[in-house]
Amino acid sequence: MNNTIIIYTLLVFLSLYSCAIISYKLKLLDLPNKRKIHAKPTAFTGGLAISASYLIAIQLFYITSKDLNLILSIGFLVAIIGFIDDKYNLNTGGKLSLQIIPIFYLILYENLSLHQIGDYDYFKLILGSFSIPFSLLCVLFLINAFNYIDGIDGTLSFTSISVLVILYFLTSDNNIQLFLITILIPICVFIFFNFSFLNLPKLFLGDSGSLLLGFIISFTLIYFANQKISHPILLAWSVSIFVYEFLSINIIRLKNKKKLFVAGRDHLHHILFKKTKSIFLTNLVIFFINITFFIIGFFSYRNINELFSLILFILCFVLFFILRNKYSVKK
């Protein structure tokens, strides 16, 4: 197994390196502008290389779950959709319409939909006939929440790592842990390209990467819930920063009569970067915010009960929103 992981890591590196070289030759580049922090044209195809790596993982590793293999396979289509968006700058309607296709396929035809969202002592939230629309909305929500977090080098990568580490902690199943490792390795290798460590060609995740990671993690959470690997409230806590930030920024935009789903510099990472002047500190803060929220949720669930943890999840959002609104960028 260790040798297979080493081979996989090397193949991931080659995939990312090849993708970077080809992208610069074909001029598949994210150009700087007033909204963006980067100063040089940078290849935006990191997500495509990562999705190709996941296809390699399916061949290299024996992941027994058909559902988990499907999530990785269909993820490649999601990465292509993100690439099309990066290349042709689709409008919101076009982007969402394309996203719905792979999501709908997994939910409807592969039955990867949420059937219930938890037993809370006094009541159980069973979705019944709302299972399909609720699952579709949740996945769309989380995919676009991931897209919101992706704004400066490393932020989405490190925050996604925080989620995967939490999910690894929540399961003792070796096969599922292997699945999580196969997701994790390409993200870790990508970071070397994202920051141009060792003079490697610089790569961005692009929409191909943010949509891919949002898609894979969304359906992994659904899988965890359906297989009763973890209580849904703990799964919600694992992505709390994504949920809180996505809701907060859109509420603030509505309040300020701004358009939703439009690129801007009012995201949490922009605010923190403006305060710290450090990409490293910005990423560290966001990483630990997510980990800290999960720890709060985990101990409230373990030491009190599910209902208290659910109420606390809502209260933490209220607190996050108040602080987020207070320090939001006024433009």
What percentage of the chain carries pLDDT values higher than 90?
82
Say if 89 falls within a structural domain.
yes
Say if 72 falls within a structural domain.
yes
Say if 55 falls within a structural domain.
yes
Mean pLDDT, the chain, whole residue set? 93
Residue predicted with more confidence, 327 or 217? 217
pLDDT band at 260 (very low <50, low <70, confident <90, very high): confident
pLDDT, average across residues 118-129: 86
The tally of domains found in the chain comes to 1
Say if 42 falls within a structural domain.
yes
Long-range contacts of 260-269 (CB under 8 A, 24+ apart): 261/92, 261/144, 263/35, 264/35, 264/331, 265/35, 265/329, 265/331, 266/328, 266/329, 266/331, 267/148, 267/149, 267/151, 268/149, 268/324, 269/149, 269/151, 269/152, 269/155
- Domain that includes residue 43, residue range: 1-230
Q: pLDDT of 36-51, one tens digit each?
A: 666 689 999 999 999 9
Q: What is the pTM of this model?
A: 0.94
Say if 276 falls within a structural domain.
no
Say if 37 falls within a structural domain.
yes
Say if 287 falls within a structural domain.
no
pLDDT band at 331 (very low <50, low <70, confident <90, very high): very low
Say if 254 falls within a structural domain.
no
Report CA torsion sign: 122, 128, 134, 136: positive
